[in-house]
Amino acid sequence: MAKKAITTPKAKTIGPYSAAIESGELVFVSGQIPLDPRTGKLVEGDTAAQTRQSLENLKTILAAAGLTFAHVVKTTIFLTSMGDFAAVNDVYKTYMAEPYPARSTIAVAALPMGAKVEIEMIADRSAT
């Protein structure tokens, strides 16, 4: 089974990795920090604003693969402060519908470019 890179000029990577990789029915979307795709800089604002931008970036990458959040089966969220857990949930639930994807939330010491949140996803073409 060959793997295929998913790219879009609307979501930039900041290192030597693909925005997403398709392998069979699965699409593995790399972690997205809250980069404004126009400027390449972090969005201003609190964790809610950063979560929203990260999810918008993920939405763009999923769309480039012909998918939506309805195809997402697993997410992993990285936070620099677990004190932001509720704020992230408030935004997250406006993007995801029940049944919600499986999810892990992990506290980390730091994220690239000083971001407060990073989110990665696994989508399944056969799931909706």
Q: Give percent of the chain above pLDDT 70.
A: 99
Q: What are the residues whose beta carbons fall under 8 Å from the beta carbon of 76, sequence distance 6 or more?
A: 31, 103, 104, 105, 106, 119, 120, 121
Binned at pLDDT 50, 70 and 90, residue 60 comes out as: very high
- In this prediction, residue 11 carries a pLDDT of 80
The position carrying tokens 């697993």 is 74
Query: How far is CA 69 from each of CA 91, 108, 114, 128, rounded to the nearest angstrom?
Result: 14, 25, 26, 9
Q: Name beta bridge partners: 78.
A: 106, 118
The conformation of residue 68, written as its DSSP 8-state character, comes to -
Say what the pTM is.
0.95
Q: What are the residues whose beta carbons fall under 8 Å from the beta carbon of 59, sequence distance 6 or more?
A: 68, 69, 95
Distance CA 16, CA 62 (A): 19
Residue type present at position 27: V
Domain enclosing residue 63, as ranges: 3-124
Mean pLDDT of 17-45: 94
How many domains does the chain fold into? 1
Binned at pLDDT 50, 70 and 90, residue 91 comes out as: very high
What is the CATH classification number for the domain harbouring 63?
3.30.1330.40
Query: Which two tokens mark 49?
Result: 């604003």
Residue 10 has pLDDT above 80, yes or no: yes
Residue 52 has pLDDT above 90, yes or no: yes
Q: Are 78 and 117 in contact (CB under 8 A)?
A: yes
